[in-house]
Amino acid sequence: MKKFVLILLIIGILIVGCKAQYKSSEKTKALSELQIEACNSADAAKTCDTRLAEVGIVLKEDCCRELGKCC
């Protein structure tokens, strides 16, 4: 019985540890200065749907999520 509880405890620690590391790697996705400039320029010129997609530096969705531009 003690082995079973110990195994469950170890599995629980592993699951929590993996979940915490996955969430921290998700948050580290930030835009570079070039991508920020592309978002700002496309938003100012109202070319988020056309030119921003052609250039391919950054996605429109990333601009919207990170900067609130091109939404």
pLDDT tens for 23-58 read 444 444 688 888 889 899 999 998 888 888 788 888
pLDDT at 15 > cutoff 80:
no
Query: What was the pLDDT predicted at 21?
Result: 54
Do 59 and 42 have their domain in common? yes
Question: Comparing 1 with 44, which gets the higher pLDDT?
Answer: 44
Do 22 and 45 have their domain in common? no
Q: How confident is the model at residue 12 (pLDDT cuts 50, 70, 90)?
A: confident
**Domain extent for 12:** 1-30
Do 50 and 20 have their domain in common? no
Do 19 and 45 have their domain in common? no
Do 4 and 38 have their domain in common? no
Query: What was the pLDDT predicted at 26?
Result: 47
How far is Cα of residue 11 from the mean position of the Cα atoms in its chain?
Answer: 28
From CA 36, how far away is CA 69, in angstroms rounded?
A: 10
Candidates 45, 67, 28; CA nearest to 58 is: 67
pTM value?
0.56
How far is Cα of residue 9 from the mean position of the Cα atoms in its chain?
Answer: 31
